[in-house]
Each structure stands twice: as C-alpha cells, then as structure tokens.
Structure 1
C-alpha cells in the first residue's frame, strides 16, 4: 500500500495485523462503545465492534532520502510483555527486499519513539550479537526520548528493548540524536507530540503543495479521535496524551492533509462536534 504526496512516496510495510484482542491497550474501547461510531466500520472495526489494528513501518522516499519510519517488533527478541512478540521468525526483511527496499538501500531510520513495537527491526541477531539491520543508515532518535529511556529503562521489559534494539545502534556509532522539532530534509519536519512517551514525535511531510502526517502513537486507533480522553495503557502521561491529541488533530482537521497512524491506515481528520472523526482513504 502506498501514497504519493507531491514528490514524496510513502509505502506501508505491515508486520502484523490484528482484529480484536486490543482491550489491553485501549480498555475503554468496548465493543458496545465502538458500535456507536459507525464511521469506523468496516475500515477500522468490525460490525461487532472489534478494533482492526496493525504493526507496520513506513518507507518514505524523497528526492534525496530513503527513510524507514518505525521498525516494528523484529525477530529473535526476548523479554517482551506480550508472549507472541517474543522470539519471532517473520520474513519482514525479505518482504522489504521484494517490495524494492533491501535493507542496505535505506539511508535513514527514524523512530517516532522508542517503544517495543517501533524499534524491533533496528537490529538483527548475527552470531549471537545485535547489529544494525540497516547497515548504511543513520538512525534518528529524539534526544529527549533517547535520554529518558537510557536513564529510566529499569523495568525488565523496557531494559530488554533498550539493550537489544537501541543501545547497539549507539554502540555502533550510528545514532543521531535530534530535537523533537528538527527538520530532516526539505520535505520532512518533526512535530513534538509528547504524552504517549516523553519525547514522542510525529512526522510532517510537505512537497509540491501536498501534505501528510505520520502520527506515530498519538492515537493507537481512530476511535481516539472521537474520544480524546481514551488514553492508551501504554501512555506515559495520559492527560498530556489527550491534550496532544486535541492539539494535533485541531491543527490538521478539515485540511487536505493525508493522515496515517502508527497502527492504522490513511484518511482525513474531520471536526465532529467537540471532537473529531476519521474519513478513511480506501486503498
């Protein structure tokens, strides 16, 4: 699945898709409540009210850069708090290569934040050692995000993620720490969107008068556009995440900006009373 934004091309590479089994991340999104939002069906939820979500990466091609935004779960990882995320054996890199994106062709890896499902393919296991998967790339991390997890990854699951998917990048001299509002290229600027994590960033793309927004995990699902206060259990600051949602969605609502979520596909944000709804762009 891909979209063109001026001279920028965005391709989504899906590692995992789920239907239902999402209450652990959005406990207020019950089947009954989701059925009250018919605009979610069928693109983002089933008729029964079960959420549709995915774990995916974005390949962003500009005239001068070849970027992967967020890198999913990865293979061979241990210590994850979701059993099915441990010791995975997924042909994700083969899929990228078949789609025209062999890992060695990527020059930039950009992580919107450093949670488990956004950094996994940063590294791969080679002869018992974690090495950078994208050997020719610079890895761009938000400075505040990186320093937070470097200094506060004391919980076993957080420590495992940092040690196998983030620290090896820094040890290899391939990380670049940037401000959360940094400009990465003529077309790409970061937007500070804290709340889900302390240094979370979204990605604003502008080219030839067209715009797109990669939200990261500002919202895990479009239902959070209607219910801004439905914070994820993974949010480090639920109140701040709700404030960030209102601020970001207000900025891009009722504009032609193509919006693509960290766990859902593309559409446009529309104002709906005191909140918002999401109009899907069918592939």
Structure 2
C-alpha cells in the first residue's frame, strides 16, 4: 500500500488514522437502491470499499504535502481526547496511530507550515488541537491554519445557536491562539497552492489544488466518500447539507479532472485513496496509479 506519491515538484504523504467500516451503504447514500447496490457489490468488495454486511469502508486520513517552499497538512482527521459519543470509534481516543504515522513519514508537528481544512466537519479538524494541561492548544505550533471564510462563518452561526463540539474544541482554540487565517476562494499560498470552491457537502466546502502553474494534485475533501460516487455522481451522502448541489459539484469536478494527469487525493476512499479520474460509461472511476 502506497503512502507516498511524487508528482511535478510535490511530494505527497498519506497519514492514516483509521480505515474501518462506517455506515451501511443504503443508509449513507439515500439515492442508492438495493438493485444498484447488488449490481456493484462484487467490485466494491474487491476494492475493500464495502464489507460483508454491505457497510461502506472508509479511510480517515490527512495528506502532508511538501512543495518547494512549504510543508502543508490537508485535513487534520479525528484527534485524541475528543468527546464524540455518537461515534464510539472516535470517542475519547487516546492512541498514537496518527502522530506515529506523521513521524513515519518524516515529520513532527513543528514541521508543518500550513494546516488547510477542506471544511470544518469533525473528522477533518480533530488534530487541529490537542489537550495540554486541560486546555486545547494548536497541535501544529508553528502552522498558520487556513479556513475558508464562508465555511467558518457558517459554523460560527451554527455554534451560536447550539454548541458544535468539533468547532468548539478543534477550531475556536486555534482562533484564540491567533494561528488562523480566514480566506476567500481566490486565496493562494505561494505559487503552488490554490482553492477550488466545491460547495454542497457544506456551504463553504473547498477542494485544494497544488502544482506550479497547473493542477498536479487535487485534494477533494468530502466532495465524495465512496468510489460508488464517481461511477454515479448523482449519489449524494446523507451528510451533504445540500444533496442536489453536492451532486452537481461532484460531476463538474469529475469532468474537470477526467482524463488529465492530475492526481486526485480523496479523503475517504479505501486505500490507496489516490488516483487519476477516468471516464467510465456515463460516470467515472478514480484509477489507482
């Protein structure tokens, strides 16, 4: 299983926190019928995207990218010591899997220059902070944390109505430590990192494109959770805030990168999680490289 990729002048590392069964396919994808699932069951199981009880298998991971100028972490996963009672596998975790993975890739938390979040859901912000003497402090002490302003504003508004735990323990402490930047969709970091708005899953969801003068790699976040959604882009997950918008965004993203050399780095596809988008019938596949 490959954890390291080189494309253009980028080196990309996968840092896996968990790869596990998540939610039954028919529950996760409201538009999925038992017939369509039956049609796709064999290849999905072979790809380790579906377990024996028809539950979707998902990978929960970060990407660390070395550009010629910076070391950038995309999406900070689940985190430790966080109260997540709805998800037993995430609740009050204390394992060293994530930091060990970071270390194995040759990085310490001090090496990260920027943390970029595709959106601010629980499994994309968890390691933004860690517990130190009873306080949440930034895990990556030298990093600037880059949040899309539209996404940040959305969760600020939600959190004002009723506390959103991952926002309270994994985003606001970064703001209090003055380590954050709120950015618009035209934001760039150096000449290698750009933002691609991909709304639907959340209002301010972004993909992140990297490469000098071209998209050598794109980090798609929660634009899609399962390879089934590349084949059938109209299938949105129940967690998409605007399922119709997510489906439209997904198809246009897949069209954009179809039959190019751009490496598509997905947040949740089972390992190897990374591939090139290729056309297949009226849909697409993410073909492993």
TM-score calculated relative to the size of structure 1:
0.91
Taking the aligned partners of 1:71 and 1:47, their CA distance within structure 2 comes to 26
Check conservation: 1:221, 1:261, Cα contact below 8 A. Answer: no
Query: Structure 1 residues 112, 206: closer, same or farther in 2, change over 3 A?
Result: same
1:112 alignment partner, one of 84, 104, 118: 118
What is residue 8 of structure 1 aligned with on the other side? Answer: 10
2:263 alignment partner, one of 250, 258, 262: 258
Query: Structure 1 residues 219, 82: closer, same or farther in 2, change over 3 A?
Result: same
Residue 129 (structure 1) shift: 0.6
2:203 alignment partner, one of 179, 184, 198: 198
What is residue 142 of structure 2 aligned with on the other side? Answer: 136
What is residue 74 of structure 1 aligned with on the other side? Answer: 79
3-state SS in 1 of match to 2:153: helix
What is residue 42 of structure 1 aligned with on the other side? Answer: 46
Check conservation: 1:6, 1:208, Cα contact below 8 A. Answer: no
Residue 170 (structure 1) shift: 0.4
Check conservation: 1:34, 1:50, Cα contact below 8 A. Answer: no
Query: Structure 1 residues 154, 44: closer, same or farther in 2, change over 3 A?
Result: farther
Check conservation: 1:6, 1:210, Cα contact below 8 A. Answer: no
The 5 Å alignment of 1:80-91 reads: 80-91=85-96
- How many residue pairs match? The answer is 280
Query: Structure 1 residues 79, 278: closer, same or farther in 2, change over 3 A?
Result: closer
Query: Structure 1 residues 36, 278: closer, same or farther in 2, change over 3 A?
Result: farther
In the TM superposition, what whole-angstrom CA distance separates every residue of 1:61-99 from its partner, at most 9, and x where no partner exists?
111101110001100101453232110112122331232
Structure 1: which 5+ residue stretches go unaligned? none
3-state SS in 2 of match to 1:85: coil
In the TM superposition, what whole-angstrom CA distance separates every residue of 1:246-267 from its partner, at most 9, and x where no partner exists?
1111111111211121102011
In the TM superposition, what whole-angstrom CA distance separates every residue of 1:172-225 from its partner, at most 9, and x where no partner exists?
000001113422221211100000011000011224867111111100111111
In the TM superposition, what whole-angstrom CA distance separates every residue of 1:213-245 from its partner, at most 9, and x where no partner exists?
111110011111122221111111111100100
What is residue 29 of structure 2 aligned with on the other side? Answer: 26
Query: Structure 1 residues 17, 31: closer, same or farther in 2, change over 3 A?
Result: farther
3-state SS in 2 of match to 1:84: coil
3-state SS in 2 of match to 1:153: helix
Q: Does 1:17 align with 2:13?
A: no
Check conservation: 1:67, 1:107, Cα contact below 8 A. Answer: yes
3-state SS in 2 of match to 1:51: strand
- RMSD of aligned Cα (Å): 2.2
2:151 alignment partner, one of 117, 138, 145: 145
1:280 alignment partner, one of 271, 279, 288: 288
Taking the aligned partners of 1:84 and 1:97, their CA distance within structure 2 comes to 22
